[in-house]
Amino acid sequence: MILYDYVLSASCYKVRLMAALLGTPLTLRAVNFHPGREHKSPEMLALNPKGTLPILQDRDTVLTDSADILRRLTADHPEWQNTDDDRWLAFASDLNDSLGLARLHDVIGYEADIDKARAAGVSALRKLEAHLTEQRFDGLIFLTGSNPTIADIACFPNTALAPDGGVTLDPYPSIRLWMRAIRSLPGFIEMPGIHRLHELAHPA
């Protein structure tokens, strides 16, 4: 499988992260999203007329929606699926359109109504915090139960990168615990702005 990838993209990262957690090899093809705008080149538009990333090419199949890619990667891994995933995949899209947009504005100067994007991001974080707090009361840590699913991987990147768009995570203890649980998963990988839990490692 080939992933057309931009290292700073939260949507590309969730695909790389999911593959790493599954132990699924990906061939990465770097795309000069900024400043090169290579995703708008004729070659890339032939793969994805929408001109967006990520793009996953699996033999003759080309997928351009991160939710569809996550489903594809976990098709043979029912332990990563839950009947409530669709709800959270839709919520992940809301996070991308709010927190993700604010981050694009602050990091690469993408044109946006930044106050509106941040306000929508804060609203989404409050909903996420409320749900995760209820989960904690039931002894659960992840979005749909005691184990992570594609719901968690879809929602994690833009949440963790919220500070890059000027939105603090300080008021959300349940979110921070949830992010720590994801970062503790075997096979977890980093991206710029999201790091491993180095403090969990002890010297020999």
Choice between 108 and 19, residue whose per-residue pLDDT is larger? 19
Terminal Cα distance for the chain, rounded: 37
User: Which residue, of 77, 94, 113, is where some domain finishes?
Assistant: 77
Residues 22 and 65 both lie in one domain: yes
Q: Whole-model pTM?
A: 0.93
Range of the domain at 36: 2-77
Mean pLDDT, residues 96-110 taken together: 95
202 falls within a domain:
no
pLDDT of residue 199: 52
pLDDT of residue 197: 83
pLDDT of residue 204: 44
Distance CA 194, CA 183 (A): 9
Residues 142 and 169 both lie in one domain: yes
Distance CA 39, CA 137 (A): 44
φ, ψ for residue 3 (rounded to 5)? -110, 120
Is residue 203 over pLDDT 90?
no
User: Which residue, of 77, 100, 122, is where some domain finishes?
Assistant: 77
159 falls within a domain:
yes
**Considering its fold, how many domains does the chain have in total?**
2
Q: What is the pLDDT of residues 61-99, one digit of tens each?
A: 999 999 999 999 999 999 999 999 999 999 999 999 999
Exposure string for 7-33, b = 16+ CB within 10 A, e = fewer: ebbbbbbbbbbbbbbeeeebeeeebeb
User: Which residue, of 77, 103, 128, is where some domain finishes?
Assistant: 77
Residues 88 and 179 both lie in one domain: yes
DSSP code for 98 = I
CATH number for position 115? 1.20.1050.10
pLDDT of residue 134: 98
Mean pLDDT, residues 144-168 taken together: 98
